[in-house]
Chains A and B, each alone.
Chain A
Amino acid sequence: MRIKSILLSAAIALACGISQAVTLRVADVGDVMSMDPHSYNETTQLSFTANVYDPLVGRGKDMAVIPMLATQWAQTSPTVWRFDLRKGVKFHDGTPFTADDVVFSFKRAADPGSDMKGYVGPIKEVRKVNDFAVEIETTAPFPILPDTLTAFAIMSKKWCEVNKAERPVDKRKGIENTASFKANGTGPFRLKERDPGTRTVLVRNFGYWDKVDSNVDEVVFTPIGSDATRVAALLSGEIDLMEPVPLQDVERVKASGAHTVLQGPELRTIFLGMDQKRDELLFSSVKGKNPFKDVRVRRAFYQAIDIETIKTRVMRGAATPTALMVGPGVRGFMPDMNKRPPYDPDGAKKLLADAGYPNGFEVGMNCPNDRYVNDAAICQAVAANLARIGVKVNLTAETKNSYFPKILRRDTSFYLLGWTPSTTDAHDALFNLMATPTDKGQGQFNLGSYSNARFDELTQKIQTETDQAKRNEMIREAFKIHQDDFGHIPLHQQALAWGFNKKVSLVQLPNNYMAFKWVVVK
């Protein structure tokens, strides 16, 4: 009898010992498309693979640039940077990490099949200095190189060669690749199991070079596309953490008692753009001229929009109204300039009358309905606001698959777009969204072709200015010009919404990266 009970308690202790392994069950609306960190430039993808692959330079809990595989770096000439590499780091398969891996990873990320070309684009060459130092040469002076390197994952040269994965999967040529379903990084977690569309399992890499503040041994990642099911799975306790919580369910999740929702501002800024180039708008009742060429009309539109009501009604409080085209957390954000001209429908009506449209006019508006949080509802609210000043908006809200090709052809007069600077630097927004379009890629998302010569000049200078104080002054001037011109109508930064069990504590980054190394499960 005694022996039996001892055996029993031993068995229980053993069972408990096994069950003490901490598993974090995570659900997201979409799946991670590939395990290859160079194959897709998409947040879910990059966020997940960042747990397996380390970059040279990373981001801390406050988004500040921190050393990862590089211990320190310095600019040795305007176009050359030297990075000292961390010693004693091993890939998950045991291969030591050296400068050869950095040189190799750069070549891989710059391959035609790679989606990370935008990040490594400014780089001309990566040279090995010795086993633990590299030199990176840029084509032009590039002051924010460390920021752009945060999304550039380092892969093992040897592993890629052995597995014939020297190049990213090329969607065009139809070549499948080991790296899309296996992984070998230096990160705090290693890939254990990959079943695309169903579940992906990571386990802790206990040989990680850095101290990790997490007690999570295993992460099970499951995509759950249906919003209602994802919420149900969280409430029923089948998952511990999920993203995003649909806005209408935030209160319900919080009311459950065992769960909470963390809503921090995302880096993405939602804004409206107006065609300021054509002499006659494609979709408008005004013929023979373009009302948007008149700054008074643009200002009238801006001031007719009741941003507070959009925030409280459409976004249920989950938005931060903005007067700038970049949000807090982006380098170059100017808090003191983040003041919107007041909501003023009567003033807007007067401005329209002054511009020669006392009875308003009709204009077509394009809007996605499955890209940003409540995107189509925002457009409807804007249309209702504009109706008050006599502008009749003919709204076309459609799926992103047909919306983006259309607006990229510039077949639009008035549109809604969201933008996260991938470098988390203001220059990215100035260059892509606001500068005059050229055939070199500048202004390629400036779909209404807002144009100001001084603004363009500043944009070019900001790109190469290495003195931070001077650079900030120029960013400030550029923002001022754009605000005075009412070049676009910034609306808000939407909020992230992560729902999780209260026994989980975590860090939410405004770029929506989910770092499991900062997750603790009580």
Chain B
Amino acid sequence: MLAFILRRLAQAAIVMLAVAFIAFMLFQYVGDPVTNLLGQDATPQQRAQLRSDLGLDAPFPLQFAHFVGNAVQGEFGLSLRQGRKVSSLIVERLPATLELSTCAALIALGLGIPMGVFAALRRGTFFSQAMMTLSLLGVSLPTFLIGILLILVFAVTLKWLPSFGRGEVVALGSWTTGVLTLDGLKHLILPSVTLALFQLALIMRLVRSEMLEVLRSDYIRFARARGLPNRLVYFGHALKNTLVPVLTITGLQLGSLIAFAIITEQVFQWPGMGLLFIQAVTFADIPVMAAYLCLISLIFVVINLVVDLLYFAVDPRLRIERAAGAH
């Protein structure tokens, strides 16, 4: 077990290094922050001076080595755009993104699973057909369009919900949260629905097809033969076995929720890390971009690791094979 974890950690380190390397290669093409920083009145000498002060004229391998050296110590430098420490910027923005992603995940799971079960059990009825059609929309419509449509309907036309921002937040130490105030909750609804919609449709379709699969299997037939009530057959036996692949997918999708929050955050001006990243890209703010990409890859690596470990817990067969192999 320990060897397994260590091996995965070593792999994770290599993945992170590769991500940092590729990100750094891309930075050669995002352009030059110097003209943004100095404005139109600076002289060419001032530009060249700043470029060398920032280390942007150093050869690529040297810049990369310098970056990795600092990153290992958790030091990502100063944002060129805001003149503040990148690490503190990210710490400030992290709660907003996590709150949004968690809320979206809860919506996706809380609605997706029951809807999937319903669509499987009531196959062919009008409601389940309608749900399937809508889920197709959810999978195929781009997030920004959904966001803007929701804003148009609920903010501009109906004026029920706010269109942008996080609203009133409460600070609990260095963590800020919007779920403790009514205003904050109102602001959370549209963005988290927008972000959840794709995952919701995905989970619903997945649950439905898994459920149909399971319902055809022998043990369900035997359960029925035993005369168990439908409720117990469906929710006690069928759903349980459906959930294993669903949880795997959900675990992996949680990473995507955090990463793809970029678009939702941009549409709703949600002050999270994704918005920070977008702002950094338009300014060629390399330290912020680098830190964000490394953090996101770290989140993915950690989630994958946790999912792998959960397999051990959930699937007894894996444990048996391991034990057998050890002999």
Contact = CB atoms under 8 A, between A and B. Distances in A.
Contact of B159 (A40, A172, A229, A237): A237
Nearest to A440: B43
A115 B39 contact: yes
Contacts of B82: 33-34, 196-197
A444 B40 CA distance: 9
A233 B41 contact: no
Contacts of B268: 226, 229
Contacts of A222: 164-165, 269
B163 A197 contact: no
Interface in B37-53: 37-44, 47, 50, 53
Contacts of B50: 172
B269 A226 contact: yes
Interface stretch (B25-33, B60-68, B109-117, B313-321): B25-33
Nearest to B37: A171
Contact of A224 (B40, B80, B164, B284): B164
A238 B84 contact: no
A235 B163 CA distance: 10
Nearest to B36: A401
A41 interface: yes
Give the interface size class of chain A: 35 or more
Interface string A172-215: 10101100100000000000000111110000000000000000
A40 B39 contact: yes
A91 interface: no
Contacts of A41: 38-41
Interface string A230-259: 101101111000000000000000000000
Contact of A118 (B31, B42, B164): B42
Interface stretch (B11-19, B212-220, B231-239, B272-280): B272-280
Interface string A385-405: 000000000000001111111
Interface string A353-379: 000000000000000001000000000
Given A172-B53, A232-B152, A370-B282, A238 B164 contact: yes
A131 interface: no
Interface in A397-432: 399-405, 408, 419, 422, 432
A172 B53 CA distance: 6
Contacts of A31: 279
Given A41-B39, A115-B39, A198-B271, A180 B84 contact: yes
Contacts of B152: 232
B101 interface: no
A276 interface: no
Contact of A228 (B30, B78, B85, B267): B267
A235 B156 contact: yes
A449 to B, nearest CB: 14
B192 interface: no
Contacts of B34: 405
Contacts of B31: 399-405
Contact of A408 (B29, B41, B44, B166): B44
A92 B89 CA distance: 28
Nearest to B43: A441
A442 to B, nearest CB: 10
B292 to A, nearest CB: 14
A408 B151 CA distance: 41
B40 A171 contact: no
B159 A236 contact: yes
B155 interface: yes
A118 B37 contact: no
Given A226-B267, A230-B164, 20 more contacts: A42-B39, A115-B39, A117-B41, A196-B84, A197-B276, A197-B279, A198-B166, A224-B164, A225-B275, A226-B269, A232-B156, A232-B163, A233-B164, A238-B155, A238-B163, A401-B283, A403-B31, A404-B32, A405-B32, A444-B43
Give the 5 A-B residue pairs with the shortest CB-CB distance, closest first. A401-B31, A118-B41, A41-B39, A402-B31, A405-B32
21 contacts: A34-B83, A41-B40, A171-B83, A174-B77, A176-B85, A223-B269, A224-B164, A225-B266, A226-B267, A229-B148, A229-B151, A229-B164, A229-B267, A230-B164, A235-B156, A236-B156, A402-B31, A403-B31, A404-B32, A404-B36, A408-B35
